[in-house]
Chain A
């Protein structure tokens, strides 16, 4: 388990992380979503032991991770622009990682390269961006680490390959103690693989919840109020995140359980109403919009 407590990190005058507290359970895929510059990469680097926290701490399996080689051996970090040795091939990279991760599974590495159609003796510099990402994931899986930190790893992968990587993760989680932590903007991709999601905004965690629970807690309601019903009083009955009006149709995103919504709607008896499920992307937009992250009006 990764416990992040009151984590604070500054770069000169910029606060990258501010009082971040979160808990990442083992055996689940954790999705880290956030606005641009929210501190996702900083958080991952701190978890990987690359950055030393200014305040607070990051504990992996109960111990602080910075300069803790035992723990760092359990973590593999794939950066958004992974470094490969100059002039190296996948084989050279594998040999390199074998030195530092003695549990490196060579057989699996070769097998996975074969499946993904990556030539182990071809220079990495000739690989496309997507191929480099695939190679990073393959290495990340084969080093045998418990936690795999992926920073924007799905970007640059084609849809088929994204599915393949997801299957790899699931397969790996079935086989051994494996916890991928994936930071991404591609929320649709995270939605069908992550079980737990953390949302970062401006260096702080907005929430960190189970995805299903989160989806169960936020709904979109569309309704047409009765002619003599006060629209405002209807809206005030809910914890509204966003709302819009199209003719007489009101669309609201509200934070409430399905049962609560249903009972209130029955009570308010509008002309028409329905509850729609929210996508992760919609949740992200709604949650960040509440925090002022809204660029709907870009008229200059």
Chain B
């Protein structure tokens, strides 16, 4: 008699016990993934509209583009949700025998090494999703193919669907092993759900604390920063969502993210194997299998809940914020500790569980809350010493984000949209002395009142390579100090480039006043008016002027530039009172009437025009 049973035989035997999982997976993917997708593709094929921002492309191209978009976006989203739900079901029901003593006897008495059983069950759980997903993708691809085969989208579709399928596999595996880990740390279903939640969401909560709670207690913390997002990506579920984002928006510059995610998945798989091998059979039906893990989880959940509820109380209270944040923290700690104790001990009788652990959790929560209240040891006031700095980068986040043409975002792109132009992530290294003085002033002005303010992100680039981020408010009291930003080469380079783009010769130009009287300009008039506008713009190029325009918005006229015959999108150039040259030109040379309107606007859409 040999005990060397092949992996395939075990996989086959175990699949027979769980036929419903692959069946459910196949049916779900075929129904949601294919039938709904086919209907949508059918609708897209019969649509008569086409994209108004590119009138030169053929109708076939638009349809192909629609199909492409459905295949790589809608389909990807549906498949991604199925992958995550599938990962949960497969993980839970491949290993849930560990929650039942009789089943544990049955499995662990079998002459199979635990490594082999783990491998068989894990691979099975993966294949239950993978095989139907692959078939679904192949079918979807062939549904799309007839529509895109004659266009440039054929190659793109093949590439995108392959990349996205790979991303889906990674997404599935990450969530799958996170859930397996949750199962292996638990002895019953309720604690599994708790553990899965903790494993998956612990770092999300830390992320929330960083982005939300920290901002509640501090004034200069950064909400959106690559490093924080990366930090959040270490947690499987948000990581999967992050990965999903990579799949949705493309792999550009995100390979590192994928690699980190793969590494985390591998680590989780290895830990799962270790836990499975060393799990005591007698722990089935218990709340928590590993006491130390239970204790660590309990403290983590308690402290995080305390901080979150403390900050919530702080946010909701009108006065005595410090007091209420402490009350909230203590309440949160007791509630969370009791809840987790009940879950892990599978009993509500002794809801305070281990008293020493309870006291430790409460103390840690209280200390953390006090740290927050006391300003995180001067977090808001901290600026690195000047001699340690290599440079200072200032990222003005909002200048005139009012639908005009000077939007500064933070995702590294400059682009058109229907509201105008957006400039993003203008990485401006300002002169060190001026930048440092500005930072000091911004710190000093943290609690000042002001008529208006905008915020900016400052990155202190240290000589040792470290970067420190802070977010400050620029107030009207020191607005002139921001000119060091505007005069920085990096800013000018980007700003002027965009400014120039505004003056690309448009196909048509209209002017409108506040009474909606307007005029359609001739080519000569348009050239002259835009020349005046550019001149005015240059003469008012300072932070103070820009901010004033933003806050004291009192446009006399607006120029509308159209770049195609559809009349949309257009670029809107507001003309404030101080743009004297432009105003003078309009008033002296143009006659605004209530009948004039864009010759292009809504040309093809009479119903909308009406």
Contact = CB atoms under 8 A, between A and B. Distances in A.
B105 A45 contact: yes
B111 A72 contact: yes
A299 interface: no
Interface in A231-280: none
B281 A99 contact: no
Contacts of B100: 83
B213 to A, nearest CB: 37
B320 interface: no
B16 interface: yes
Interface string A77-101: 1010111011000001001100111
Contacts of A76: 109
Contacts of B47: none
Contact of A99 (B12, B104, B114): B12
Given A11-B282, A67-B114, A96-B13, A102 B105 contact: no
Contact of A102 (B2, B10, B17): B2
Contacts of B110: 72, 100
Contact of A50 (B5, B12, B104): B104
A69 interface: yes
Contact of A77 (B3, B12, B109, B112): B109
A144 interface: yes
A48 B108 CA distance: 9
A83 B12 contact: no
A144 B105 contact: no
A103 B1 contact: yes
A49 B1 contact: no
A103 to B, nearest CB: 5
Contacts of B2: 73, 102
B112 A69 contact: yes
Interface residues of A, number: 31
Given A50-B281, A99-B13, A69 B108 contact: no
A67 B282 contact: no
A88 to B, nearest CB: 9
Contacts of B3: 69-70, 72-73
B109 A82 contact: no
B111 A79 contact: no
Interface in A207-225: none
Nearest to A16: B282
A166 interface: no
Given A73-B3, A74-B1, A51 B282 contact: yes
B227 interface: no
Interface in B1-31: 1-5, 9-10, 12-13, 16-17
Contacts of B103: 83
A59 interface: no
A101 B113 contact: no
B280 interface: yes
Given A72-B3, A102-B1, A50 B111 contact: no
A132 B356 CA distance: 48
A52 interface: yes
B345 to A, nearest CB: 12
A77 B109 CA distance: 7
B43 to A, nearest CB: 42
Contacts of B350: none
B102 A73 contact: no
B142 interface: no
B276 to A, nearest CB: 12
Interface string A98-135: 01111100000000000000000000000000000000
A72 B109 contact: yes
A77 B13 contact: no
A50 B12 CA distance: 23
A95 B13 CA distance: 9
A13 to B, nearest CB: 12
A178 to B, nearest CB: 13
Contacts of A144: 1
Contact of B112 (A50, A95, A100, A102): A100
Given A45-B281, A96-B13, A81 B102 contact: yes
Interface string A39-81: 0000001001111100000000000000101101111110101
A96 B5 CA distance: 13
B49 interface: no
Contacts of A99: 5, 9-10, 12-13
Contacts of A45: 105, 281
Contact of A73 (B106, B111, B114, B281): B111
B550 to A, nearest CB: 67
A100 B5 contact: yes
Contacts of A73: 1-3, 111
B113 A69 contact: yes
Count chain A CB atoms within 10 A of each CB in B3, B4, B17, B114 and give the residue with the most: B3
Contact of A51 (B111, B113, B281): B281
Given A52-B281, A92-B16, A99-B9, 8 more contacts: A45-B281, A72-B110, A73-B111, A75-B109, A99-B10, A101-B1, A102-B2, A144-B1
20 contacts: A45-B281, A49-B108, A50-B104, A51-B282, A52-B280, A52-B281, A69-B3, A69-B4, A72-B110, A75-B109, A79-B106, A81-B102, A83-B100, A83-B102, A83-B106, A96-B16, A100-B5, A100-B110, A101-B111, A102-B1
- 10 A-B pairs closest in CB distance: A73-B111, A72-B111, A69-B3, A73-B3, A83-B102, A83-B106, A99-B13, A77-B109, A50-B108, A69-B111
